[in-house]
Chain A
Amino acid sequence: MSLSRRDFLKFGGATAAGVAVGSPGIDLGPVEAAATSLKIKEAKVFHGVCPYCAVGCAQLIYTKNNKIIDIEGDPDTPHTLGRLCPKGAATIQLSNNPLRPTKALYRAPGSDKWEEKPLEWMWDEIAKRVKATRDATFVEVEKSKAGADVVVNRTEGIANLGSACIDNEECYLLTKLMRTLGVVYLEHQARV
């Protein structure tokens, strides 16, 4: 298995940031063996895909008690040969991270702080905003250059950006909903 730098620090006892894995004079063999036996013993394994760049490195995600304990490259992957780059090797910290907000947050106009709100309230309120803006800015019929009335069913009051970081099924639901609402300002990171 590959050994992430975090594990190296944990098991190798090194403390200085920036120490290169495999520095001369440190035998990684026992560390690697210890890591293998300690970390993923009795863990469940799931198939993952790295969420960073578009190489699409397949990952093995190990969990214990519904908590991710390790993520590594899947050695069977034909187009990656099981490897991950530094970002891919850090994927676990997208999940296990104290900076992650775990509540929905609302900021009122002019306010200088976030307020925690129930999800149901958030979804209801957002839907109301969308409806109000859509209804106020909707153009149902427009004259074409040739002077004919054309049904355009469009709102130019709402825009949506993103995302190239979400799944295909999510993109599909988003496109389907937004296009039908009349949203035409619809983009993701293809250009940025």
Chain B
Amino acid sequence: MTTNLIDIQNADVVMATSNMAENHPVGFQFVMKAKERGAKLIHVDPRFTRTSAAADMHVPLRSGTNIAFFGGLITYAIDNNLYFKDYVVHYTNASFLIDPEFKTATDRGGLFTGFDPEKRAYDQKSWKYQLDAEGNPKRDLTLRDPNSVFQLLRRQYSRYTVEMVERVCGIPKEKFVAAAKLYCENSGREKTGTITYALNLTQHTNGVENIRALCMLQLLLGNIGRPGGGVVALRGHANVQGATDLAVLYQDLPGYNPVPLRDAHPDLKTYLEKTTPKTGFPVNRPKWVISMLKAWYGDRATKENDYGFDWIAKRASADAYSHQHIFVDMYNGKLKGFFAIGQNPAVGGPNAKLAREAMQRLDWLVVQDIFLTETAEVWKAPASSSRPAVSPKAVKTEVFFLPAAPAAEKDGTLTNTMRLIQWHEKAADSPGDVRSDAEHIYQLGKRLRTLYAGSKAKRDQGILALTWDYGDTHPDILKVLIEMNGVALEELKDKDGKVLYKKGEPLKSFADLRDDGTTASGIWIYTGATVADAEGKIVNRTAGRKKADDKDYLAHGWGWAWPANRRIIYTRAAAAPAGKPWSEKKKLLWWDPEAPSNVPDKKGKWVGLDVPDFNAFLAPDAKGGDNPYIMRADGKGAFFGPLLDGPFPEHYEPIESPVKNLLSKQQNNPVAKIWKVGDKRNELAGVGSAEYPYVITTYRLTEHHLSGVMSRYLPMLAELFESHFAEISHELAGELEIRNGDKVTIMTPRGKIHVRAMVTNRFKPFTIDGKKVHQIGVPWHWGYNGIDALPGSRGDITNDLSATVGDPNVFIQETKAFLCNVKKGVV
């Protein structure tokens, strides 16, 4: 999230695209506070929810048409001159000129220049800036050049008219115009708007482009880096942000450094050359990566051995190893052993039936969790009305279940959705042999180091070099956090010989990291979380509990936010190019020409209500002084931003759709990942399928949590729903003669489930290009384990319905929009 939940109250308009009132109810308070202060709330969602009930306007759109919607808003803002021109000219790449070879999807029938149908991939050679003699991008600050990003943006979305939005999304024209007017007119120099999203936008075969479309609208309206603006990403797990920062992910190393690829990155030198840009803040990547290697491999990491770079596994290809790859490859027998740590893929992932069958083929499975999940008991899944029982005898998998402790029984930090790291304390011991996940992982590592002890094989040296000394039994968590933060490995001095750090002292800032092996830091973005005071005592800033007050509404003393305790990022954009706030009402960061600089005889500093997300002493008129987007090589927000599926988001229908794409002849994302799985384990419904005529979306409930591990076993929560259910409109229920509470069968080419019908006004049929299209919704919290005394805690697995298809950039699944049939009764 670019902003902070607290700051939402400063918005003049909020566009909620997820069901924030039900899924992030405590955060939703700040939307309501904004409303109390006069802001308008627009809720864009196929279903009328409690978020809609609190909104000034509910805009229902057919699932899977978000880019058509955002594209329509972009066109509306440009055509009605409602965009923030000064922001767009100075802080985005709108004025940059693109290679004339490049043509938009408007010009090329839904594809961008460079598509290779055989490879199903783009050649991106024309997707680039025109450069001047010095190698800088050419710009036209009038935005009139036909090859300027702004004119290409216009051209790209010229098809996304109000009429087209109505036909594609099913939003009546008047309603769309009213929403567009409300949002755009409440953004600009004096006003700001914020947009919230969650998995509603990400779980699509164009998930990344959905987010880009949202960000582009925010850039166009000047809503990023400013109070009450920003992009509010609402994450679903307590530490999904932290686990992502720490890179329990196939593509990254901690702190968003890429995992090395075999072909591109054979050694450290090549890796750093190829992943370090010439400009922008990531020019520091060598310091981050080498400091991480020093944290991992200690004294064994030397300049001569590339600091142990080879000990980190290299990926074979960019198209490999994601969640969906795991289960396809496991089903095909490639994977032999599997850890499921605090995750329940038997229920929680796409095409869950495939996932369960895949796990039943493993040699060994380790499950570390609080309760006996469906994953732990995948070898004895009981019969249900829609699937036969699994015979334990037939499952040759060895299963190890390690009981794990919940947060209240251990020390540690969690990073919330706004990058805020908060320390929690161990309040009580765990019962019996329950141990923290840290202890289970630590003990496994210790034993592996013993098993490999004495090995002379090169391939085992990383394990032996690993710094893995955090105590005898339970690892010392503060010691781990300090390693993540980083320390000076020897006395560090500045240019003038002044001592900056004593040997072993925790580092205060990632600016102090070095690429010569004299600093260690497990994750550079967390540097500053733990520091030493004047007496050398450790100050754990993540445990800070200072309340917000009138002087500090962003509460910088409550926990610690990465990076550098900045609560809102891209804040240089809160001031006009010359350094004054765009408006007094919306001030956040500004240039104070009289403030002392870091150089004795100079003056000038960025000051304001937050820690600057910018070089605090870089004057507005200096080179790069007007580049707010510091992580980008050109310093500008990107309308033109190449991804594998294009430099602009383009609407394509979901892989399973009831209708043809009206915006182009290209039906689906041409580079989407569609897995072929044997034994008919991933069959798909065709466009406008008569057998599967209804759109289905999946979602979550306030009283349940994700795959149900932390709710279906808790009486306080499990008793709140009598049964698994599907929400069906009165109109569809009428056609199928289904009454409220009836058992119904929901089926897709992958599987079927039996649930109760909740016949509701919350769904209404859509009119798509003059044709009626029904959509239903099904929550996905249920599985075959739960509480015996509460039969409603158990239910069929919704994810048995979804498919193994993915976005080409990150391979996220498409569980928000696919096709199904609904039959009355148990079929």
Contacts and interface: CB of A to CB of B under 8 A. Distances in A.
A143 to B, nearest CB: 9
Nearest to A166: B437
A79 B324 CA distance: 35
A151 interface: yes
B424 A171 contact: no
Interface string A46-64: 1111111111111101010
B459 A140 contact: yes
B463 A180 contact: yes
A54 B416 contact: yes
Interface in A132-173: 133, 136-138, 140, 142, 144-146, 148, 150-173
* Interface core residue of B406, B415, B705 (most chain A CB under 10 Å): B406
A190 B240 contact: yes
Interface string B395-430: 111111111001111101111111011111111110
A122 B427 contact: no
Interface stretch (B312-320, B625-633, B757-765): B312-320
A133 to B, nearest CB: 4
A103 B399 contact: no
Interface string A181-192: 111111111111
Contacts of A85: 25-26, 702
A111 B391 CA distance: 10
A42 interface: no
B558 interface: yes
Contacts of A187: 248-250, 321-323, 326
Contact of B238 (A102, A126, A158, A164): A164
Interface string A64-91: 0011100100101111110111111111
Contact of B348 (A58, A160, A189): A189
Contacts of B791: none
A39 interface: no
A70 to B, nearest CB: 10
B326 A68 contact: no
B243 interface: yes
A189 B242 contact: no
A89 B710 CA distance: 12
Contacts of B595: none
A168 B414 contact: yes
Nearest to A142: B262
A188 B249 contact: yes
Given A103-B403, A104-B433, A191-B322, A168 B448 contact: no
B340 A164 contact: no
Interface string A111-132: 1101000110011111111110
B100 interface: no
Given A164-B240, A188-B240, A101 B372 contact: yes
B676 interface: no
B547 A76 contact: yes
Given A54-B236, A133-B337, A161-B338, A110 B705 contact: no
Contacts of A103: 403, 432-433
Given A167-B438, A168-B481, A188 B336 contact: no
A109 interface: yes
A36 interface: no
Contact of B248 (A51, A124, A131, A174): A174
A123 B239 contact: no
Given A150-B314, A192-B813, A94 B716 contact: no
Contacts of B245: 168
Contacts of A172: 246, 254, 480, 483-484, 522-523
B343 A99 contact: no
B343 A188 contact: yes
B827 interface: no
B307 to A, nearest CB: 13
Contacts of A185: 250, 321, 325-326, 329, 335
B288 to A, nearest CB: 15
Most chain B CB within 10 A, of A51, A63, A180, is at: A180
Contact of A153 (B240, B311, B447): B311
Given A127-B447, A167-B437, A152 B316 contact: yes
A169 B4 CA distance: 23
A69 to B, nearest CB: 9
B571 to A, nearest CB: 18
Contacts of B445: 173, 177
Contacts of A127: 444, 447-448, 450-451
Contacts of B438: 166-167, 169-170, 173
A130 B238 contact: no
A11 interface: no
B239 A102 contact: no
Given A129-B398, A186-B248, A153 B462 contact: yes
B334 interface: yes
B27 interface: yes
B239 A157 contact: no
Interface centre among A140, A159, A168 (most CB of B within 10 A): A168
Contacts of B263: 144-146, 150
Contact of B433 (A119, A124, A152): A119
Contacts of B421: 168
B403 A131 contact: no
A79 B545 CA distance: 12
Given A99-B371, A99-B713, A112-B393, A166 B341 contact: yes
Interface in B720-758: 720
Contacts of A148: 266
Given A102-B434, A103-B433, A119-B433, A48 B425 contact: yes
Contacts of A81: 29
Contact of B262 (A89, A144, A170, A191): A144
B283 interface: no
Contacts of A118: 433
Contacts of B720: 18, 86
B812 interface: yes
Given A157-B335, A171-B248, A162 B407 contact: no
B424 A48 contact: yes
A79 B420 contact: yes
Contacts of A90: 711, 714, 716-717
Contacts of B240: 54, 164, 188-190
Interface in B126-148: none
Interface string B808-827: 00111100000000000000
B448 A125 contact: no
A175 B247 contact: yes
A52 B442 contact: no
A94 B401 contact: no
A183 B475 CA distance: 22
A105 interface: yes
B441 A170 contact: yes
B428 A95 contact: yes
B577 to A, nearest CB: 32
A136 to B, nearest CB: 8
Interface stretch (B83-91, B103-111, B362-370): B362-370
**Most B Cβ at <10 Å: residue of A79, A84, A85:** A79
Interface of A: 4-6, 17-18, 44, 46-59, 61, 63, 66-68, 71, 74, 76-81, 83-95, 97, 99-112, 114, 118-119, 122-131, 133, 136-138, 140, 142, 144-146, 148, 150-177, 179-192
10 A-B pairs closest in CB distance: A56-B416, A102-B432, A167-B412, A163-B342, A162-B343, A127-B447, A164-B237, A54-B235, A78-B555, A78-B548
Given A138-B459, A158-B336, 7 more contacts: A47-B424, A54-B24, A59-B424, A61-B408, A95-B406, A191-B813, A192-B349
27 contacts: A5-B716, A6-B716, A49-B414, A49-B424, A54-B234, A56-B420, A66-B428, A81-B29, A102-B432, A106-B399, A119-B402, A119-B443, A127-B447, A136-B336, A156-B329, A159-B329, A162-B341, A162-B343, A164-B236, A164-B238, A169-B412, A176-B522, A185-B321, A186-B250, A187-B322, A189-B243, A191-B322
